[in-house]
Amino acid sequence: MATLTWYGHSTCGIETDDGTKLIIDPFFDDNPVCDVSADDVEADFILVTHGHGDHIGDLIPLARRTGALVISTHELVSWLATHDIDNTHGMSIGGGSSFPFGRLKMTPALHGTLNEGPGGEKFPTMPAGLLVTLNGGQRLYHAGDTALLTDMQLLRGRVDVALLPIGDNYTMGPDDAVRAVEFIEPEVVVPIHFDTWPPIAQDAQAFKASVGERARVEVLEPGGRLDF
């Protein structure tokens, strides 16, 4: 049994069967819906979809303190090296690699590419989604920030738990997220990237009703957990 913790927005923790701790898109201290401090989070691996501030807010301090291996795109880990964070593994869209927790493949995400680091420096990243297959066999898809993509049909039959943005405005909204569920046919859907700020306020229960029988929608509160 693995456990997913949704910290609000796109930030997730996964604890695997053997106690390995993964953090995806660390955004704790400036996350308005998260009351967990990045100082209180442990990580063996940090997975990052792209370089926007609402996905890497606490990445540098968390990577420094924990010494976790940071896995992200080549562009993002190259930027991290300029902050003297070198325990990294760079990948690119369509590529997969094996890690002690299982296998990670980077999937396409259609989203903005320009980011700003803590020193005001600009750097580009290629936004990605994450298809994680844990050693225990559980298959989790974190879509990152993305529009609806017909490419998501390629994930059909390969995902147990899908974390899909529903916030609209910066990512797909609830209607397109329902279409993503039709494309992917996951067992469980966890909506993410909504209700963090007013422009992405959504009614997650209405989304759940729209998905209907297509999948089991687990609407978590920030800090909420799901065993899978």
Residues at the interface with Mn ion (CB under 5 A):
54, 145
Q: Which does 218 bind (CB under 5 to 8 A by kind): Mn ion, Ni ion, none?
A: none
Q: How far is the CB of 155 from Mn ion (least distance, A)?
A: 20
Q: How far is the CB of 174 from Ni ion (least distance, A)?
A: 18
> Is residue 52 close enough to count as binding Ni ion by CB under 5 A?
yes
Taking CB atoms, the residue at the shortest distance from Ni ion is 52
The pattern of x and - marking residues 124 through 163 that bind Ni ion according to CB under 5 A reads ---------------------x------------------
When the beta carbons of 49 and 133 are compared against Mn ion, the nearer one is: 49
Q: How far is the CB of 185 from Mn ion (least distance, A)?
A: 25
When the beta carbons of 145 and 218 are compared against Ni ion, the nearer one is: 145
| Residue type, position 25, single letter | D
Q: Which does 208 bind (CB under 5 to 8 A by kind): Ni ion, Mn ion, none?
A: none
Question: Of 58, 17, 16, which is closest to residue 41 (Cα–Cα)?
Answer: 58
Record the tokens describing residue 30, joined without a space.
Answer: 């400036």
Q: How far is the CB of 111 from Mn ion (least distance, A)?
A: 8
> What DSSP string describes 175-197?
HHHHHHHHHH--SEEEEES-SSS
Residues 6+ apart with CB under 8 A from 115: 50, 51, 52, 53, 56, 79, 122, 123, 124, 125
> What DSSP string describes 129-169?
EEEEEETTS-EEEE--S----GGGGGGTTS-SEEEEE---S
